Structure 1
């Protein structure tokens, strides 16, 4: 922290994973005035399971909230790839090495536990103020960004800040404003896929010994078939079994681009996975009709920049990804860690210094995030192969994983990809890049 930086004021738009992580990281790095604006009336956390990779856990540990999150999570010891139709194991990877190799285990948990853990930690920080029911619209980008806050009930008012971080998700309102300023746009890319997210309780599974065995195991399982797969694992102290599917999108084809979710049909879901093994069938039949929601999986083309003046995009606002590498939230938290480093090292509050610090953030994060987006897409393509020579070769590669030989078609299980994701201390990278950019020895 440099005293010449003065009372830096950071405004964060959005209180999702990226916004919460940014607020907490900035406060822990000595930023004393942080305002978080959220359109929702509260942070009533919902959602299903989430993977908590070491690159995420390492940052959250530094921020002081990892212990409470990990307490309810399950440490992954094994990842298993199985043939959809007969439950036959195609490949298997031992994850127990991760804790020793990378200093933090690979875990799986509940999204509400992750978000709630960060939010509770934020509430302990005097520097952070939350403003709910608040919609934001950028008016100027530099030298001090200005934006209008429109409360759901109340009179609009203008806010000036030294830095604005737009963590307002894949439907970001700030992203198109930045791109319009640059005379470009980022095309929304339809993946052609949708997902069901399902949580079964221990009580629902209690009468089926095979299901209970899954619930008690420290493992992640993918059942893979042509154009579809299911990933599942135990969460919430093994009281919930989280199931997430990927299948061809048939319900959103004619929907407006703003629509990302719809009420799911249990009949359609069962039809979609009717050739999966009996174990999967029994689990899907347990899903209550009224509890099923379907998500459209979308990304957008890479942005030319994440930064405009003293405003920067964060998380899904700038790098939404398909879920197949289990890195969406982790990458938003990496954004937060890097932003905390570069903004806390500022020599002063000048707009030039702030813009250069945000450019360091972009240089450290943009290429890495976009590489992982590409790897997630490649994994999906490999997982969804139909019968033929390509599938036969893929399955040989999966079989070789049992003897720790060769690359994995599922990049989530690939040792070299894991090293690239888990083995980098992104905050230390940011520190070194900042020193270089600002000519500090």
Structure 2
């Protein structure tokens, strides 16, 4: 009999989670609630999640709800998504959020992070160590070595150490990852409720429960309310002019942003005009290739460490939380610590192809959104109209009903258990031959 989605671990493990971001804390919670002992190692002196808004799509919300994470009080429920033309803001498509898939919410990244931390650290078997920077791993002994010389050993090491993972090159035996620039960079800005209300053209937008996507030549913008309509979150994707390197986010220039979106819908130019000069952040959007493997022995990668997502389909945090759910389900189903490497292989089988498909759909989505004005763009805009009548796939994967079904109706815990069951059946057949 395999474990139910919330069942306690048959063999409680000592798990080391490297990284205290959303993926790491979600993994600690997923394991901790099933009875494993978890230590989270965070390199920073205190846990901080920066950034701005993210979307809680139903595939992520389903797991958070099941795990009892109190995130909803800080989230904003979206009722529809508008797609608008860059120049005059005319409506190309207006897609209601179909509650059949589950709720689609937006949340400030820090609010989600805090809700996860609160829930995970309320468990007596989950502890957090800050100032704990992992520099090396020992695969034979399943232990991590910290910058200050401490060595911490466990039964399993789960690396949620992000896009600049220290553990990834050790698993792959390779320090080089051939990153492919998408050609885009993105500005991230947040406006306060007061700033939005001060302008007649923006006033409506702060109180509406909708996300807006403007699309134009080489650029697109996504905007939605956060924190119960107290904040307005805007991400502006534009051609990378070589101003940003691969490092995290850097301060962007308001002047460049004004120039980039000159001639756009008045709502866009007003949003930009209202940004404080020093409140513009910019980051380069790179596509990361699929990895050969996510696991080695009793050590595995998750989240951005193995599948960094582009923001074009709003699935970055969701896919990391799915990884966490899959790990919790599979590692709670094993009947001996000797099965950990096999369980991690099953985790990879259950997650790798899906996460990589989501990565790729982001790349494809960019092309459709950024068409220059002309015959192809007119054809695309007609497809939006037909999609609203149910007669075509939407050119924007984020609102395409078929893509939503694949993304949003997925239950990562259920899928993981099914994969693990198949894995065990196959191996017991081989053993009996």
TM-score category (smaller protein): over 0.9
What SS does the aligned partner of 2:337 have?
coil
Residue 247, structure 1, aligned to residue 212, structure 2: no
Give the Cα separation in 2 of the matches to 1:367 and 1:6: 28
**Residues 37-78 of structure 1, C-alpha deviation per residue, up to 9 Å, x if partnerless?**
11111123321111110000000011100xx31122221111
Match of 2:162 among 169, 178, 187: 169
Question: Where does residue 206 of structure 1 map in the other structure?
Answer: 197
Give the Cα separation in 1 of the matches to 2:146 and 2:414: 35
Question: Where does residue 348 of structure 2 map in the other structure?
Answer: 362
Question: Where does residue 10 of structure 1 map in the other structure?
Answer: 15
Question: Where does residue 223 of structure 2 map in the other structure?
Answer: 232
Match of 1:26 among 31, 39, 43: 31
Question: Where does residue 411 of structure 1 map in the other structure?
Answer: 397
What SS does the aligned partner of 2:137 have?
strand
Which segment is superposed worse, 267-276 or 40-49?
40-49
Q: CA deviation at 1:188?
A: 1.5
Which segment is superposed worse, 328-337 or 39-48?
39-48
Give the Cα separation in 1 of the matches to 2:329 and 2:10: 14
What SS does the aligned partner of 1:367 have?
helix
Question: Using a 3 Å threshold, how does the CA distance of structure 1 residues 94 and 158 change in structure 2: closer, same or farther?
Answer: same
What SS does the aligned partner of 2:263 have?
coil
What SS does the aligned partner of 2:278 have?
helix
Match of 1:316 among 281, 289, 304: 304
Give the Cα separation in 1 of the matches to 2:376 and 2:313: 21
Residue 220, structure 1, aligned to residue 218, structure 2: no
Question: Using a 3 Å threshold, how does the CA distance of structure 1 residues 6 and 334 change in structure 2: closer, same or farther?
Answer: closer
Q: CA deviation at 1:141?
A: 1.4
Match of 1:327 among 315, 322, 334: 315
Question: Where does residue 110 of structure 1 map in the other structure?
Answer: 108
What SS does the aligned partner of 2:152 have?
strand
Residue pair 1:93, 1:401 contacting (<8 A) in 2 also: no
Give the Cα separation in 1 of the matches to 2:83 and 2:197: 24
Residue pair 2:83, 2:214 contacting (<8 A) in 1 also: yes
Give me the TM-score of the superposition, normalised by structure 1: 0.92
Give the Cα separation in 2 of the matches to 1:224 and 1:127: 48
Q: CA deviation at 1:6?
A: 4.4
Segments of structure 1 that go 5 or more residues without pairing to the other structure are: none
Aligned Cα RMSD in Å?
Answer: 1.8
**Residues 88-128 of structure 1, C-alpha deviation per residue, up to 9 Å, x if partnerless?**
01112111x2x2x13x3011111111111101111201111
Give the Cα separation in 2 of the matches to 1:347 and 1:90: 54
Residue pair 1:79, 1:219 contacting (<8 A) in 2 also: yes
Residue 44, structure 1, aligned to residue 41, structure 2: no
Q: CA deviation at 1:390?
A: 1.6
What SS does the aligned partner of 1:165 have?
strand
**Residues 273-302 of structure 1, C-alpha deviation per residue, up to 9 Å, x if partnerless?**
112111111111110011111111123111
Give the Cα separation in 2 of the matches to 1:135 and 1:184: 18
Residue 277, structure 1, aligned to residue 279, structure 2: no
Match of 2:177 among 186, 189, 195: 186
Question: Where does residue 374 of structure 1 map in the other structure?
Answer: 360
Q: CA deviation at 1:251?
A: 3.9
Question: Using a 3 Å threshold, how does the CA distance of structure 1 residues 123 and 363 change in structure 2: closer, same or farther?
Answer: same
What SS does the aligned partner of 1:41 have?
coil
What SS does the aligned partner of 1:108 have?
strand
Question: Using a 3 Å threshold, how does the CA distance of structure 1 residues 247 and 223 change in structure 2: closer, same or farther?
Answer: same
Tell me how many residue pairs correspond in the alignment.
422
**Residues 197-251 of structure 1, C-alpha deviation per residue, up to 9 Å, x if partnerless?**
1110111122223312111111111111111111000110001111011011124
**Residues 385-429 of structure 1, C-alpha deviation per residue, up to 9 Å, x if partnerless?**
002222121111111233232101110010000000111222111
Q: CA deviation at 1:14?
A: 0.4
Question: Where does residue 63 of structure 2 map in the other structure?
Answer: 59
* Runs of 4+ residues deviating >6 angstroms: 1-4
Question: Where does residue 136 of structure 1 map in the other structure?
Answer: 134
Residue pair 1:4, 1:348 contacting (<8 A) in 2 also: no
Question: Where does residue 399 of structure 1 map in the other structure?
Answer: 385
Give the Cα separation in 1 of the matches to 2:420 and 2:361: 28
